[in-house]
Amino acid sequence: MYIVVTKNLVKHFNKGQVKAVDGLDLKIKTGEIYAFIGANGSGKSTTISMLSGYLYPTSGSIKIMDYDVPKDRKKVSRYIGIAPQDYSLYNDLTVRENIEFFAKLFSMKKKEITIRIDELLKILNLENKRDTIADELSGGMKRRLSIACALVHSPPIVLFDEATVGVDPVLRAYFWDYFRKLRDEGKTILITSHVMDEAERADRIGLIRAGKLIDEGTPEELKQRHNVASIEEVFIKLSGGEYIDE
C-alpha cells in the first residue's frame, strides 16, 4: 500500500549546525498525489535529493517499493522520475536532445525513444520548440521540458520539486490536470511546494516545518481538524505565530 516510506530520516549539514531534515516519517501511498508543503528552507529539496539517492542521509531509512535507498539507488532509479527544483537540463542541447539524453540513461531503444519524445512533446505542448536550445526557453517551458525528461522512461513514481512554482495560472491548472491523469493511470506523485494553496489540489498533504512533519492528511481532514477554511490557515495555526526564516 505504501510505495515510499521514510523512518526517522535525518540530514544535517555543516557538521550538524544545519538540521535540514530532522526525523522525518513519510508514508506515501501507491497511486496518490502527495503534496509536501512547507516554507522555503524547511527541508523539501533535501528530502527529494535523499529519496532519489543523490544525497546520503545522516541517519534514518528510506524504502521505495522493495528497495532500500541509498543502498539500492541504481536499481530504484528506473522506477522514479525526478524534476528537480533547479532543473537538470543541458542548456546547450535542444529540447529533443535533452529528452533523448535522459532516455538513453535508461537504455531505451531508438525507436521507443522517438515515439516517446513525440508523445511527451505533444502532451507538454513543446512540439514547436523541438529544435530550440534549452537555454532559450522561458521558465514555464523549461519546467515543462524538465517534466518531460522526468517522465521519459514512464516511471511509476515521480518526484516534482516545486514543479508549479513560477508558472502562470493557466499552465499550473494544466499541470494539475496532467498530474491527476498520471495518478489515474496508477502513478504515484510527490510534489513539493512552498505555496500553500497548491496543496488543496492534492490527495494528501504533508506539512513540513524545520525538517519535521507537523501534520498530515487529506485537505478536508486538515481543515476540519484545525477548524479553518484553508491549508494556509492550518499552517499558520500549527506554526503558533512563530516565523522561521531560511
Q: What does 54 interact with, of ligand ADP, Mg ion, none (CB < 5 to 8 A by kind)?
A: none
Residue 119 CB, shortest distance to ligand ADP, in Å, is 31
Which of positions 39-68 make contact with ligand ADP (CB under 6 A)? 40-46
Which of positions 95-114 make contact with ligand ADP (CB under 6 A)? none
Residue 20 CB, shortest distance to ligand ADP, in Å, is 3
Peptide bond between residue 57 and the one before it cis (omega within 30 degrees of 0) = no
Taking Cα atoms as reference points, which of 200, 134, 136 lies closest to residue 164? 200
37 to 56: interface string for Mg ion, x by CB under 5 A: -------xx-----------
Question: Which of residues 95 and 207 has its CB atom nearest to ligand ADP in the complex?
Answer: 207
Residue 112 CB, shortest distance to Mg ion, in Å, is 33
Is residue 91 close enough to count as binding ligand ADP by CB under 6 A? no
Question: Which of residues 103 and 158 has its CB atom nearest to Mg ion in the complex?
Answer: 158
Is residue 81 close enough to count as binding ligand ADP by CB under 6 A? no
Which of positions 1-30 make contact with ligand ADP (CB under 6 A)? 13-14, 18, 20
CA distances from 85 to 7, 113, 163, 191 (A): 24, 25, 7, 10
Name 206's Cβ contacts closer than 8 Å, sequence gap at least 6: 26, 34, 35, 36, 37, 213, 215, 216
Please answer whether residues 120 and 109 qualify as being in contact, where contact means their C-beta atoms are separated by less than 8 angstroms: no
Strands (E), 14-156: 18-24, 27-29, 33-37, 59-64, 67-69, 80-83
Is residue 210 close enough to count as binding ligand ADP by CB under 6 A? no
Question: Which of residues 4 and 126 has its CB atom nearest to ligand ADP in the complex?
Answer: 4
Residue 116 CB, shortest distance to Mg ion, in Å, is 28
**211: helix, coil or strand?**
coil
- 51: enclosing H helix or E strand: helix 44-51
Applying CB under 6 A, what is the total number of residues that bind ligand ADP?
Answer: 13
**Which residues bind to ligand ADP, rule: CB under 6 A?**
13-14, 18, 20, 38, 40-46, 246
**Which residues bind to Mg ion, rule: CB under 5 A?**
44-45, 85
